[in-house]
Every structure is written in C-alpha cells, then in structure tokens.
Amino acid sequence: MIVFLPSEKTLIHFKLDKQLSDRFMIPNSFWDSVSQEASGFFRCQESRNVDDTLEVHTTIFRVLIKQPNVGPSSCKNNGILYTWHNFTFLTSWLPSNKLIVLCFDLPSPFQNTLTASLINPSTRLEMRDPYSIHVLLLWEITKLFDFALWALRDLVRDLEKNRTSKEDPQPDYNRMHELARHAIHTSEMLETTLETLMAIIREHELFFNNNTTLPKSIRTISKQTMRDLQFQNTILKSLHLRSKALEDRLRNEINLAFNIVAQYDSRISVRLSKAMQMDSFSMRTIAVLGLLFLPGTFICAIFSTSFFNFSPGNSIEPQRWMVSDKFWIYWVVTIPLTLVIMLLWFIYQPLYRNQKWDRR
C-alpha cells in the first residue's frame, strides 16, 4: 500500500506527527528542523518480538533534487529559474509480506509516474524483500536527476555556443556564476544521494545477514535486489561525473571570458601606447621649435619695449639708438616676479601630490 501525504510541516501544523510516529516508529529527530532541512539521509529501525523474531522493518530516506527550468522564461534578471524537489519516503515492511510506503510532499507529476510504475505489469516488485520497493523509488529519482542534468547541460551548451565577441567582449559574468552555482548544487545533491544509496545497500546486506531464519527463496530474491541497487549506484556515479564535467566546462567558460577581456584590454593598451607615442613626438617637435625661436622672441620682446628708441637718420641728423636710463625698472620687476612664480610652483607641487594620494 502506498500513501501520499502532505509535507512534514503541514503534518506538524495539524498535529499529526505524533500519530504517525506512534504508528510507524518514526523517531522524533525526523520532525526536527535539522532533518527537515537536510539534503539527504537514510535511517533504518526494526521491531522484534520477545522471542527475537522480526516484527516490522522500517526505513526512512530523503533525496533532494534541483531542477532548472529551461525555456524562453528560464532567464530572468540574469537568473535561472529552478525548482527544488524534496522526496521523502517511509517504508514499513512486515514478514507477512505486507508493505506500507508513506510518501511525503511529492510533486503531482512524480505521484502519477510512481503510481503508473506500480500498476505496470512489467514492474518487478518483490514483496518478500523489504528493499525491493527502494529499487523502484530510486530508479524514478535517478531519471529525475538525469532530466535535471540534461536541462543544466542545455544551459551550459547555450553559453558555449554564444561566447562573447573577441572584438568587443561583453561577457555576462552574472549568468555564468549563476549557472556554476546550480552545477555545484546538483553535484552536492548527487553526492548526497550516492551516500544515501550506499547506506541503503549496507543496510540491505545487514538485514539478510542478521535474519538468517528467512527462507532461502527470499535470500535468493535479495541477491537480485542487491544487483539492482548496485546498478543504480553505477548510474548515479556516472551522473555525478557528468555534473562534475559541467562544473569544469563552466569554469573553462569563465576563465575563457576573463582571458578574452584581458586580451582585449591589452590590445587597447597597445593602441593607447602608440597614440601616446605619437603625441610625445608632436610635443617634442613643438618643444624643439620653441627652443629654436625662444631666444629670438625674447630679444625681440625686450627691444620692442619703450626703454629702447631707434631714430633713423636723415639729411639733417644721423640715425640714433637710445636706451632709457629707466631700463633698470624692467629688471627690478621681472626678476622678483620670476622668483616668486618659481617659488609658488615648488610649494604647490608637494601639496598637489599629497592631495592626490589622499584621494586614492
């Protein structure tokens, strides 16, 4: 019998957790926030009669999956839309080959898929093995992991096919790091699920080693269940490696984007350097021309002042060149003014440098 229940928080809200715990030997730690927020776990518990015969075998396990939503609406504000799927199951098996499965807060599509698998005539569900149902549940979860990885792979592939231009690079670093974050989460969930599966495999082996009184036919069935669990272990490991490969591909794209931008900046720096060299050549040319004409300009400026007077000669008077006896005024004004300007320049330079460093 399989029962679909609401979320654990809803059950706690309506105070149904106590009844479920008493009926199915659910530990109080299951309802704590630590367990509710865990990305995965597995727990097993048995109840035995006074003669040490098995009365009920109970298991609880949880798997968490992050599902990216791929499509036209999958990107919003450089973010990837996604959904967290929480799969929590409790199995209660009786030696009379009766099995009860409690499913907590399963998405409706998964409920339909699981129900269809259970009623499918080709589904091999052996009620004499308490872990046969785990094979079915974990296989449906594995298919969801595969779907989530392919959705993430499509997003990574789209990023690889639309790399930024080398001529005008404008990489979307936010989207790259957002994808990397989802890939890291997926790898974490897969690794946690692998640990959960290994715990199930160990407990399955321990169950049949401890219950030696079980019929030989059941022990034969358990071998096939073990093979199925080992097969799922290899599948999940391959999915985990694919997830790690997606992380590496994203890391490669991020490094490539950084290198493209660095090369572009380097080319711009080379162009600026060449432009500065051209400007430097022009400035040197202007400086040389200034040095060439400066002495003559200075002499012309002095002789053009009113301190000098040249009178051309005529038939009556010869030409005359006169210098004013007040020519000393020019030097009295020019020399102190020049010294003051130079002094102010020397004082201002250290102050300007200090202000510049303070702003930095």
pLDDT in tens, 300-337: 888 888 888 877 777 777 777 788 888 888 889 889 99
What does the pLDDT read at residue 356? Answer: 60
Nearest one of 82, 309, 35 to 196, comparing CA atoms: 35
Instruction: Indicate whether 293 pLDDT > 90.
Output: no
The residue with greater pLDDT, 215 or 237, is: 237
What does the pLDDT read at residue 157? Answer: 92
pLDDT tier at 29, thresholds 50, 70, 90: very high
Highest mean pLDDT among 132-141, 154-163, 335-344: 132-141
What does the pLDDT read at residue 79? Answer: 63
What does the pLDDT read at residue 359? Answer: 61
Structure tokens of 98?
Answer: 């009766």
- Residue 307 CB-half CA count within 13 A: 12
Instruction: Indicate whether 355 pLDDT > 80.
Output: no
Contact 129, 181 (CB under 8 A): no
Instruction: Indicate whether 128 pLDDT > 60.
Output: yes
Contact 138, 231 (CB under 8 A): no
- Please state the separation of Cα 137 from the chain's center in Å: 31
Instruction: Indicate whether 263 pLDDT > 90.
Output: no
Instruction: Indicate whether 239 pLDDT > 90.
Output: yes
Measured distance CA(59)–CA(99) in Å, rounded: 11
Structure tokens of 359?
Answer: 């702003």
Nearest one of 131, 140, 141 to 226, comparing CA atoms: 131
What does the pLDDT read at residue 76? Answer: 46
When the pLDDT of each residue in the chain is averaged and rounded to a whole number, the result is 87
Instruction: Indicate whether 145 pLDDT > 80.
Output: yes
Integer-rounded Cα Rg, in Å, for the chain is 43
Query: Pseudo-torsion of CA 250, 235, 185, 33, nearest 10°?
Result: 180
Residues 36-95: pLDDT tens digits?
A: 999 999 999 988 888 888 889 999 999 999 998 865 444 444 567 888 999 999 999 998
Classify residue 33 by its DSSP letter.
H
Query: How confident is the model over 204-211, as a mean pLDDT?
Result: 86
Nearest one of 243, 239, 236, 206 to 222, comparing CA atoms: 206
Measured distance CA(135)–CA(189) in Å, rounded: 19
Look up the pTM and report it.
Answer: 0.75
Structure tokens of 14?
Answer: 């309506």
Ranges 174-178, 180-184, 217-221, 291-295: which has the least confidence: 217-221
| Nearest-5° Cα angle at 82, 76 to 88 | 165
First to last CA, the chain: 72
Structure tokens of 185?
Answer: 């989460």
| Nearest-5° Cα angle at 102, 40 to 30 | 45
The residue with greater pLDDT, 55 or 233, is: 233
What does the pLDDT read at residue 65? Answer: 94
Residues above pLDDT 90, as percent of the chain: 43
What does the pLDDT read at residue 72? Answer: 46
CB atoms within 10 A of CB 253: 19
Measured distance CA(193)–CA(144) in Å, rounded: 12
What does the pLDDT read at residue 73? Answer: 41
Measured distance CA(242)–CA(148) in Å, rounded: 11
Highest mean pLDDT among 27-31, 46-50, 208-212: 27-31
What does the pLDDT read at residue 74? Answer: 43
Residues 105-115: pLDDT tens digits?
A: 998 899 999 99
Nearest one of 68, 193, 60, 76 to 133, comparing CA atoms: 60
- Residue 67 CB-half CA count within 13 A: 17
Contact 125, 136 (CB under 8 A): yes
Structure tokens of 288?
Answer: 């040389």
Query: How confident is the model over 210-233, as a mean pLDDT?
Result: 85
